[in-house]
A = this chain, B = another copy of it.
Amino acid sequence: MYNFVFQNTTKVYFGPNQLSHLGEELKQFGKRVLLTYGGGTIKKIGLYDKVMDELKKADLTVFELSGIEPNPRHTTVNKGRDICKKEKIDVLLAVGGGSTIDCTKLIAAATFYDGDSWDLVTHKAPVTKALPVCTILTLAATGSEMNSGAVISNIQTNEKYGLIHPLLQPKVSFLDPTNTYSVSAYQTACGSADILSHVFDVFYFNKAEKMDMVERVMEDVIKTVIKYAPIAIKEPTNYQARANLMWASSWALNGFLQTGGEFHAPCHAMEHELSAFYDITHGLGLAILTPRWMEYILDESNVSQFKKFGINVFGIDPKLPDMEIARKAISSLSDFLFNKLGLKSTLSEVGIDDKNFKIMAHKACRGGVLSGYKPLTEEDVEKIYRMCL
């Protein structure tokens, strides 16, 4: 019956030349800003200087945390938390992709918790309060700029967990597609695979109730990525392509596509183990896993959804037998990910063997079977990992 609650409070400034609003937006939360970013790309593309200019103009006091990792670590969260406490930070400004934003969200919450930030991720301690977070997005991928989730890794324990809490929702996000012009072909491909996976994994291929209109929008998001990711790879400064990918990333996981039922994400659960054990790029892990997972779960009970996918997204001839359409749809997706986007198609190619599959499968299923069309047991998960070799 589509029983759901929708709310998304993030204010989005979309497009170039919106940074003039940065100062006024941050100021409403206070004077002391912690600027967070990753490896320094934002300096290379000139964004750091632009941001600093705006912060200076607004007469804000700026502190910095740089070096946030892809697959950001709880130890980095702790570091940021210490700065926030010591410097009495009023507001956080994350400039980067999903990793930087996720890490910053956790810092915002960890500032009000005295123990190890990992306790918040593992629900040992509840999120009770959080500093306001604003973001400037530099990669179309995770949707973190417009949702209340964050994924953090603990490399000591080989764990990577997600946390969802309304207090983690960014207050204001600046989405300027030109800030993604310098994103490499590889990272563009990984980000695109991530966007697709949110739609497939969380919304489109599971038992959750889908409202017809919203299911069409899911297909729009998928088709947007399929159309524009190859263009962005070929023409990195194609504004149309970068803009469509960026807005698709936000809408793939900002709540709108959920119209009932539970929240499933079996591929994400499986991928988090890959990243936790091997620190591989999230989107690449998802790309390798997704078509295998689809092959594994496809059966007579869910073929109609795969058929719909094949016809509506890839334009496969609806007169073919259902199972053939479904298989063609999955191979079309593989072709897109591994040929059109040029991503590596197996775990072996990225240097991962079957050594840890058993323990990874065990950890992926720590909360019980992974729900979805076909509930996945540890044995299922291990089999899917093997299909990726």
Contacts and interface: CB of A to CB of B under 8 A. Distances in A.
Contact of A9 (B9, B15, B220, B244): B9
Contact of A213 (B12, B177, B221): B221
A2 B5 CA distance: 29
Contact of A4 (B15, B212, B224): B15
A243 interface: yes
A122 interface: no
A13 interface: yes
Contacts of A244: 211-213
Contact of A259 (B9, B10, B13, B14): B14
B15 A213 contact: no
A66 interface: no
Nearest to A8: B8
A163 interface: no
Contacts of A14: 2-6, 259
A247 interface: yes
10 contacts: A1-B15, A1-B17, A4-B14, A6-B11, A15-B260, A211-B243, A212-B227, A212-B228, A213-B221, A217-B217
Contacts of A213: 220-221, 224, 244, 247-248, 251
Given A212-B227, A216-B223, A247-B259, 14 more contacts: A1-B239, A3-B15, A3-B18, A4-B15, A5-B12, A8-B8, A15-B260, A211-B247, A212-B224, A212-B228, A213-B224, A213-B244, A213-B247, A256-B256
Contacts of A9: 7, 9
A239 B221 CA distance: 26
Q: How large is the interface on A (under 10, 10 to 19, 20 to 34, 35 or more residues)?
A: 35 or more
Interface in A244-262: 244, 247-248, 251, 256, 259-260
A228 B220 CA distance: 19
Interface in A1-56: 1-18
A148 to B, nearest CB: 13
A87 to B, nearest CB: 29
Contact of A11 (B7, B15, B18, B260): B7
Contacts of A228: 212
